[in-house]
Amino acid sequence: MLYAANRLAKRSDIEAVHKRGRSFFVGNLGIRLAKNKLKVSRFAIITSLKVSKRAVDRNKLKRRLREIIRKDILPKVQPGFDGILITKKPLLELPFDALRTLTISLFKKTRLT
* pLDDT digits 0-9 by tens, 83-109: 999 999 999 999 999 999 999 999 999
Taking the whole predicted model, whether its pTM rises above 0.95 is answered as no
CATH number at residue 19: 3.30.230.10
Reduce the DSSP state of residue 54 to 3 states and report it.
coil
- How many folded domains does the chain comprise? 1
Residue 56: which domain range?
A: 4-107
* Domain assignment present for 112: no
Q: What share of the chain is helix, strand, coil (3-state, %, to 5)?
A: 45, 20, 30
**Degrees, nearest 5: CA angle 54-60-39:** 125
Q: Are 91 and 100 in contact (CB under 8 A)?
A: no
- The answer to the question of residue 69 being in a domain is yes
The predicted-structure confidence for 24-57, as pLDDT tens digits, reads as follows 999 899 999 999 999 999 999 999 999 999 999 9
The amino acid sitting at 45 is I
- Is residue 74, in this structure, part of any structural domain at all? yes
